Structure 1
Amino acid sequence: MQNNLFIITIGLTVAGVFFLLKSLVPVRAIIQKLSAGNVRNRWKLLVSLIFMFILGYILYAFLRTPDSFNSISTLIVPGIFFSGAVFVFLVCSLSLKTALDLQRIYVLEQENITDPLTGLFNRRYLDRRIVEEFQRAMRFEQPFSVFLLDIDHFKNVNDTYGHQIGDMVLKKLGHLIMESVREVDVVIRYGGEEILVILPNTRIDNAFELAERLRKQIEETIIEAADSRKGQPAIHITVSIGVSEYQFSDGWDNAEKVLQRADKALYRAKDQGRNRVFSSEKQDEQC
């Protein structure tokens, strides 16, 4: 009887050690996916605790002797040890599966709202974000502005250099804009060669200044260096920009008004010769 109880105890303890060691696999996978920070440090702390439990299980097994088992009740402790180890393994495995599922959901969400060519947000994201900005502006009485940018004579770029170069121009322009705006600003590929920038907590005068700086920077930037072997000159582009600001009279249910005003200002800039910035509130001002 005592020998049988002893064997069962050792078996449960060894099995517990096995499940604790096995739980380190999902924990390690989770740690690898986490960036440096408090959450990652806490998972590393869990690894240390698991090793402490393993050491405790081993010490418990070595300190037991057949003589110490005289009734079935002596299996309670090793039974708890085994159940605890299985619980740790299941929790760690479930945590990894949950993390992977959340990662997949995040990737799908990003793909759903990201333009595949430029890496900027797309119109689907705009429909959601512009409403959020309106609600924030109404609730906290904070301004926000937008500007709509269009590449001048972009069709000529495609016709002269090909659509592959045209795609490269869009990518580099998107990258240039992302580097020029704040982290809180939202850059969206509005359609074709049009790019929209949402500027939270920004008055139209400041938005106009940013748009003008960006226009000059784009004008002075060599998008693609000259290639003498192909006989291809350096590629420069210019842009026209229309700027508009949210107005409280727009109300809660008409988020399109600020975009419509920016669009009208953009076409005014085109009508006046392109490569300039127009404000919807200051239509007579040009650069």
Structure 2
Amino acid sequence: MKFSNLSIKYLVMILLICIVMPIYFIFAVINYNSIRNGILNNTQLAVTQSRINIVDTIISTEKSYELVSTYYDGLMAESLEQFKAAYEASGDDVSAIDLAAIKLAFQGNLDLYIIDESGVIIGTTFPTALGIDFKTVPDFYQTLTALRLGHNPEISRVTTDLNTGELRKWGYIPTSDHRYVLEVGISPGALSQYVTQLNYTDMEKTAQDNNPFIAGIKVYDKHHVILGSEESETDEARMAIIDTVIASSTDHRVFGDEGLLNQEYIYINTFPSGMNDSQKVISITYNYDAIINQINATRISAMLVFLVYTVFSLLLIYFLVTRTLTEPLIRLTNRIKTVTGDNLDFEMPVTGTNEIGQLAQSFNDLSQKLRSTLVTKKYLENVIDSVGDILIIMDQDLKIRRINQYTRLFLGQPCDDILGQPIAFLFDSSLTLRELQIKLDLSPHLENLEGTMVKEGGQKTSVIASISAFRGEDETIIGYILNAKDISLTKKILKKLEESNLNLKRQESILLQQSTTDALTGACNRGNIFTILEHIHANTPLLYATFTVFMIDLDHFKSINDRFGHQAGDEVLVETVRIMMENLRKTDFLGRYGGEEFLIVMPDTALDEGYRIAERIRVKIKDTRFYHDSVDLTISGGIAQWDHNSISELIETADRLLYQAKKSGRNTILRQQK
């Protein structure tokens, strides 16, 4: 079904649907996205705050350990020295050391350990630690080895024992023979009376109570041990992530759908330095099922609101269109069907001032105008004859059937001699019948056909014409109308304008040459030579590899004017320029700098090549006799090559060299030192 066959009511409905529904849909999408983004932003705020609270809890707890740790530093240093003294007093025999006596000397608050070269505890007051092999902890074993081979004691901060999970503080000192590491540790009972150990299970529960999106929290040390439990991480992927986070000291995040953070690994290191560093990785896993369900519910609500508004709007539009547009149009159409060609007397009821009422009033006005308008053949002929241009009516074979009064006067021929002739009869060979037929077959309307019409007595006149087809009631072409204008006067005016334009271009060329050329010598004037220099400078080294400038001054030129007069001086200047031009290349530029000074610009020319050209010019001028063989002339000059310097610096260099050449006796060309 074509749209042109649809009722206006349905067309208007379709149009309004195409307008209203996208608008409602856009508003629904914007509203949904606004709510969704608000939910996601609040979620991320909660996640961020939870992360901060967890990290602050761990760091603040570990820093509270440090207060107790500092309290025991002096006691541990003293015990390490006594331990080492007992080893030396035993003759370096560890089995002879009375470990219990040393522990008793410090009220039983210390445990003592002897670690051999293999990293194994071979003696201790803490029986369950006997036989522990620290080679199973490579990083710590390397640290112990470095301590054993060193000379200084090392006291750690309060840390968590990997075997018992209790808080401990350790001190280490190497034996003088570097065979053992002597270790002392504050007993767990002594520390527990001053500091409360962080309960990671309680921390996880508190975080989950405050943030329902947290599914689980694990805190790892650098050995993949899960703090707060007796387990170690076994998942290789997680272990790799933990190693990467600790190695790079940067956090790692895993994002899922909706751009939400699914899991993150947070790096913390409360005390970056020291033997027992506090590097840890906090793994937080998030669950957003509640948020996803809320977003989905919001999406469904937005779509329901969109559908309700759409249905309501369509029903309202349908009612309004039917009442205000389609029903009045149907009544108007039924009334118009009663109008015939013989009966133009019809009157439409005007029911209002809106568009329908205005349409009914327009039909009433049209009825009155049709009744008062009777078009006759004589009226049409008068209209044709009143046209002030050439107007020719032809049949479908391009034969002339009617011409207007203006055309008869223009051609000066009897009407009977013209009617019935093909249109080409009125034109010379510039417009043939065959050519016109081919063009009209391609297009029934032709514009801007330029040709020459032949008047009475063979007089020819240029015209520009257009041809348009006119059709019968069955839409077939029944003839053509040719409309033409006399353009002979216009062509004469155009010819004169072209001649004037050529004269102006000649004058412009002369003026341009005068504006860029020195009037006396024919060389470039000062402004033009500097324009050329600026162009070459701006395009070096892009277009030109380098360039050289040559400043020239005629020696003792004032004496020539004084002895022979200014006319003789002018002839010497002209002849000098001629010699210089003959010895320059086509790519070089010569300009009059001022008075008897000249500037030569040589693109793509290095200093040595430019100097050879300058010397050739100097020798040629020196060997030439000027002004009727009565004047000898020499020149002095300075030549410099561009070296990424400015124009002013380059000119200044060449001018300075010119001054030095004159000062050194003239008839000399000095060049810039490389």
Q: Same fold (TM over 0.5)?
A: yes
1:239 corresponds to: 635
Q: Which residue of the other structure, out of 273, 276, 279, is the alignment partner of 2:671? A: 279
Tell me, in whole angstroms, the C-alpha distance in 1 between the residues paired with 2:530 and 2:517.
13
Distance 1:222 1:103, change over 3 A: same
TM-score, with structure 2 as normaliser = 0.30
2:526 corresponds to: 123
2:410 corresponds to: 8
Tell me, in whole angstroms, the C-alpha distance in 2 between the residues paired with 1:98 and 1:62.
33
Deviations 1:119-160 (A, max 9, x none): 221112133221111112143352111111111111121122
Deviations 1:3-23 (A, max 9, x none): 974441259xxxx99xxxxxx
1:255 equivalent to 2:657? Answer no
Tell me, in whole angstroms, the C-alpha distance in 2 between the residues paired with 1:94 and 1:236.
55
Deviation, structure 1 residue 263: 0.8
SS of equivalent residue, structure 2 residue 539: helix
Tell me, in whole angstroms, the C-alpha distance in 1 between the residues paired with 2:651 and 2:626.
28
Letter in 1 for 2:633: I
Tell me, in whole angstroms, the C-alpha distance in 2 between the residues paired with 1:260 and 1:175.
26
Deviations 1:157-178 (A, max 9, x none): 1122122211111111112212
Q: Which residue of the other structure, out of 578, 587, 610, is the alignment partner of 1:184? A: 587
1:264 corresponds to: 656
Letter in 1 for 2:548: S
Letter in 1 for 2:614: A
Deviation, structure 1 residue 272: 1.8
Letter in 2 for 1:153: H
Segments of structure 1 that go 5 or more residues without pairing to the other structure are 18-52, 65-72, 227-233, 283-287
Letter in 2 for 1:261: T
Report the number of matched residues. Answer: 220
TM-score, with structure 1 as normaliser = 0.66
Q: Tell me, yes or no, if the aligned pair for 2:536 and 2:544 is still in contact at 8 Å.
A: no
1:144 equivalent to 2:547? Answer yes
Tell me, in whole angstroms, the C-alpha distance in 2 between the residues paired with 1:243 and 1:153.
20
User: Cα RMSD over matched residues?
Assistant: 3.3
Letter in 1 for 2:549: V
Q: Which residue of the other structure, out of 498, 504, 508, is the alignment partner of 1:95? A: 498
Letter in 1 for 2:636: S
Q: Tell me, yes or no, if the aligned pair for 2:412 and 2:455 is still in contact at 8 Å.
A: no
Deviations 1:97-128 (A, max 9, x none): 23322332332232222222212211121332
Letter in 2 for 1:236: D
Tell me, in whole angstroms, the C-alpha distance in 1 between the residues paired with 2:604 and 2:532.
14
1:46 corresponds to: none
Distance 1:113 1:63, change over 3 A: closer
Deviation, structure 1 residue 96: 2.6
SS of equivalent residue, structure 2 residue 505: helix
Deviation, structure 1 residue 206: 0.8
Tell me, in whole angstroms, the C-alpha distance in 2 between the residues paired with 1:272 and 1:88.
71
Q: Tell me, yes or no, if the aligned pair for 1:9 and 1:75 is still in contact at 8 Å.
A: no
Mapping 1:11-160, distance limit 5 Å: 57=453, 62=458, 76=482, 79-80=484-485, 82-83=486-487, 85-160=488-563
Tell me, in whole angstroms, the C-alpha distance in 2 between the residues paired with 1:63 and 1:100.
32
Segments of structure 2 that go 5 or more residues without pairing to the other structure are 1-402, 414-426, 429-449, 461-478
Tell me, in whole angstroms, the C-alpha distance in 1 between the residues paired with 2:530 and 2:555.
26
Letter in 2 for 1:192: G
Q: Tell me, yes or no, if the aligned pair for 2:552 and 2:635 is still in contact at 8 Å.
A: yes
Letter in 1 for 2:650: V
Letter in 2 for 1:263: D
Deviation, structure 1 residue 202: 1.1
1:212 equivalent to 2:615? Answer yes
Distance 1:8 1:256, change over 3 A: same
**More helix by proportion, 1 or 2?**
1
Distance 1:57 1:159, change over 3 A: same
Tell me, in whole angstroms, the C-alpha distance in 2 between the residues paired with 1:198 and 1:209.
14
Q: Which residue of the other structure, out of 557, 568, 571, is the alignment partner of 1:168? A: 571
Deviations 1:220-266 (A, max 9, x none): 1111224xxxxxxx211011121111122x1xxx3222211111111
SS of equivalent residue, structure 2 residue 598: strand
Tell me, in whole angstroms, the C-alpha distance in 1 between the residues paired with 2:521 and 2:556.
19
Deviation, structure 1 residue 209: 0.3
**More strand by proportion, 1 or 2?**
2
SS of equivalent residue, structure 2 residue 625: coil
Letter in 2 for 1:269: A
Q: Tell me, yes or no, if the aligned pair for 1:187 and 1:196 is still in contact at 8 Å.
A: yes
Letter in 2 for 1:235: V
Distance 1:166 1:62, change over 3 A: closer
Q: Tell me, yes or no, if the aligned pair for 1:151 and 1:194 is still in contact at 8 Å.
A: yes
Distance 1:57 1:236, change over 3 A: farther
SS of equivalent residue, structure 1 residue 247: coil
SS of equivalent residue, structure 2 residue 633: coil
Tell me, in whole angstroms, the C-alpha distance in 2 between the residues paired with 1:235 and 1:121.
25
1:202 equivalent to 2:598? Answer no
Letter in 2 for 1:258: L
Q: Tell me, yes or no, if the aligned pair for 1:118 and 1:170 is still in contact at 8 Å.
A: yes
